[in-house]
Amino acid sequence: MFGRSLTRFLGEDAKGIMNHHPITISPNASLEEAAALMIKHSVDRMCVVVGKKLVGILAKRDIINEIYKRR
């Protein structure tokens, strides 16, 4: 089932399925702020931006790994 669905969408452009209004965060934001935004908007990752320039992607896993390293 998944294979057929995937095959049907392989011809799609990324533009057709991407999120046109991604949640963004500053690289200076705290992990607490990032986690709160992810929970509020039900997202697993966010674009890290300076002005309008993408400087990285922050994922829930990144936050969890950092918390684990600090304990």
pLDDT above 90 (res 6): no
55 inside domain: yes
37 inside domain: yes
Domain total for the chain? Answer: 1
Predicted pLDDT of residue 49:
98
Predicted pLDDT of residue 59:
98
Predicted pLDDT of residue 56:
98
Predicted pLDDT of residue 46:
98
For 39, residues 6+ apart whose C-beta sits below 8 A from its C-beta are none
Give the domain extent around 62. 19-70
49 inside domain: yes
41 inside domain: yes
56 inside domain: yes
Burial class (CB in 10 A: 0-12, 13-18, 19+), 21: exposed
Burial class (CB in 10 A: 0-12, 13-18, 19+), 6: exposed
pLDDT in tens, 14-23: 888 888 999 9
CATH code for the domain of 54:
3.10.580.10
